[in-house]
Structure 1
């Protein structure tokens, strides 16, 4: 069997996990609109959904990296799925108590499980093959992730947002019980399957070091001595912020413009569909026709241009510009990881944990967006927050990833 074929089994399993991550992550856009209506929340309070979900990445990334180091990839992923199942199960008593804070606890718990999966799966996909084609492999994972997100937005959106709103908030919240019980069962079954699977192979410390070794690696004693990593963490913080804002605010944004909720509930699927198209294009073009960093530079420029157009147009046109940001954002994540991890050698695991901490941009920046929207009374003008974020991503693609010393 060729070495390339030996990657296919493990990558298929990782693809299944990315599908699970996508289904659970991208339903947040639906939950924001659902909880905003059920609990009569303002914009800022409704975006506590993304804050509770993504802040776990900052709090738990480094502890989770030690969990993965102790358990190995396979056992760590199985444990992560069980933690996620505990989080989805919390939704049941939260609905019974009609308690928004308890729902947020459930989202935070799901985020902890996802942190373990992210800490293990992204470097795993990066290391299973040549580094110059890592963005291509992670793009395949992204298709699974966003494809699941489209399914979750359509299915869960139809269950939670379709039809007339119940007069009793408790009756409205009961809509989450059946789907989240089903999700809990699926996660438990997957945890058992992963634990018993013989397809996942461990990547040893030696393999990690030789796959990313550089002449200066042995001269450095701290992960913070690598500017490409530190700037990469900041760029990833910005990236996840614009990604989550584009995907999770679009439904509420459409509703704020007067578009009926029945129509707006599928807008998040448009954004994720744009991301899927971007991933497919990345798979075709990288690295044969365009480099990882060149595609990232193009993506940042496109994000800037489309954001400005969204701010200065109106109605459905503006909403579709936010959806197009999905395409602009698609390849930034898979291109950024290998550039930020380049030359880290023995620091790869802790560096991956720091990058996972950057996912907290999805917690902080949508909350800032909501605060701006409430303070100025415009969900549209609040999108100006994305301009400096794309500018920093552009800086990392042009200059930041090349810096090997401070």
Structure 2
């Protein structure tokens, strides 16, 4: 195991490329929400079906995908995931031709299935490939790749889809997605082949990662649900992904609703992701030498509550920038949460990882609730109150929940 821990930099570089791909595909959703809302004349709730279709696949497919990863192993599972994602991006082409919003949602759901496999394989791989006490640091590096790609996708795809004058013809607007999504399809297939033929990605066995005392405890337990730190971790991750996606994917629409021109608002999502990148860099510098991953997560949850309240009670560009600052608050919650939730799971690590991936469905449910509240009360700003209880639960998990070893 020591040899493995000392030789994981090469494989982590490859995993970093995968997180870059995941980020580019995932964070373009904020642009697509605004783009589809205009092209199909949607209300807030209907426009956030983009995130619902994309992220609900994590709940529907997480367990089946964990079985796939168990059969294929981490490496082949990643390659298969990229091919499924390529199928999803390819669906965008006939969807644009037919001007069909439901077919676009099918494409997003298919991409989400591929990402479910990729998350199920890549997150535990990054977690257990090196020393567990620095897992948050490694996943933070992955986060920089993910959010860096998201910033690029927001700027590039936003420029292609939202910038400049737009035609009143929905079909002409939708044709804008054809070329970028054909390119994305080709890139995903290329990465799938790269992973398939790369010899540097060796399989690691999660059963070997825990010390013997922990392993003995794992053997005594017969169900993954006997681990409170995991169950509460799944709920905390649901809350986290909900606040993360709301912060990144509603900010463009929010800016437009405040009267900020669309051509200016299109880059607001990049501000949120930039805040996350800064948070990751700070996490890498501080964890675990100066602060524990748990302490950083507690600070992040406190900050999330404070900044949300400020965003609700300020106005204009100041309020928008508060939503962007939530990116910084959210940054290290994900990488800190995974090792705390997976601690002591031993042989249950893969199924536990699948359950955590199911928690990503918070990105489907919470934005849809946000959109429904905004439509019902007529305020995209006050709808942000939905974030406060979610941050409070994350705070509970960081303070108390992850320490529970039995019910």
Alpha carbons 1:212, 1:345 under 8 Å: kept: no
SS of the aligned residue for 1:392 comes to: helix
Distance in structure 1 (CA, Å) of the matches to 2:282 and 2:212: 26
1:164 alignment counterpart = 165
Distance in structure 2 (CA, Å) of the matches to 1:7 and 1:224: 31
Deviations 1:156-191 (CA, angstroms, capped at 9, x unpaired) = 000000011112110000000000000000001111
Segment drifting more, 77-86 vs 207-216: 207-216
Alpha carbons 1:212, 1:343 under 8 Å: kept: no
Alpha carbons 2:208, 2:346 under 8 Å: kept: no
Cα offset, 1:405, TM superposition: 0.4
Is 1:177–2:167 an aligned residue pair? Answer: no
Distance in structure 1 (CA, Å) of the matches to 2:188 and 2:148: 18
Deviations 1:99-145 (CA, angstroms, capped at 9, x unpaired) = 00000000000000000000000000000111111000000000000
Alpha carbons 1:208, 1:346 under 8 Å: kept: no
- Unmatched runs of 5 consecutive residues or more in structure 1: none
Deviations 1:75-121 (CA, angstroms, capped at 9, x unpaired) = 11111000000000000000000000000000000000000000000
Cα offset, 1:3, TM superposition: 4.7
1:223 alignment counterpart = 224
2:22 alignment counterpart = 21
Deviations 1:344-386 (CA, angstroms, capped at 9, x unpaired) = 1111110000000000000000000000000000000000000
Distance in structure 2 (CA, Å) of the matches to 1:104 and 1:23: 18
Cα offset, 1:282, TM superposition: 0.3
1:124 alignment counterpart = 125
Distance in structure 2 (CA, Å) of the matches to 1:289 and 1:49: 40
Is 1:240–2:206 an aligned residue pair? Answer: no
SS of the aligned residue for 2:348 comes to: helix
1:309 alignment counterpart = 310
2:337 alignment counterpart = 336
Alpha carbons 2:21, 2:149 under 8 Å: kept: yes
Cα offset, 1:205, TM superposition: 4.6
Distance in structure 1 (CA, Å) of the matches to 2:394 and 2:388: 10
1:327 alignment counterpart = 328
Alpha carbons 1:238, 1:389 under 8 Å: kept: yes
2:271 alignment counterpart = 270
Cα offset, 1:218, TM superposition: 2.1
Distance in structure 1 (CA, Å) of the matches to 2:53 and 2:140: 27
SS of the aligned residue for 2:165 comes to: coil
Cα 1:380–1:212 change in 2 (3 A) is farther
2:146 alignment counterpart = 145
Cα offset, 1:213, TM superposition: 2.9
Aligned pair count?
A: 406
- Unmatched runs of 5 consecutive residues or more in structure 2: none
TM normalised by structure 2 equals: 0.98
SS of the aligned residue for 1:216 comes to: helix
Cα 1:169–1:386 change in 2 (3 A) is same
Segment drifting more, 216-225 vs 24-33: 216-225
Cα 1:354–1:30 change in 2 (3 A) is same
1:196 alignment counterpart = 197
1:260 alignment counterpart = 261
Deviations 1:27-51 (CA, angstroms, capped at 9, x unpaired) = 0000000000000000000000000
Alpha carbons 2:6, 2:130 under 8 Å: kept: no
SS of the aligned residue for 1:213 comes to: helix
Alpha carbons 2:206, 2:349 under 8 Å: kept: no
SS of the aligned residue for 1:60 comes to: helix
Deviations 1:251-301 (CA, angstroms, capped at 9, x unpaired) = 000000000001000000000000000000000000000001100000000
1:38 alignment counterpart = 39
Alpha carbons 1:127, 1:211 under 8 Å: kept: no
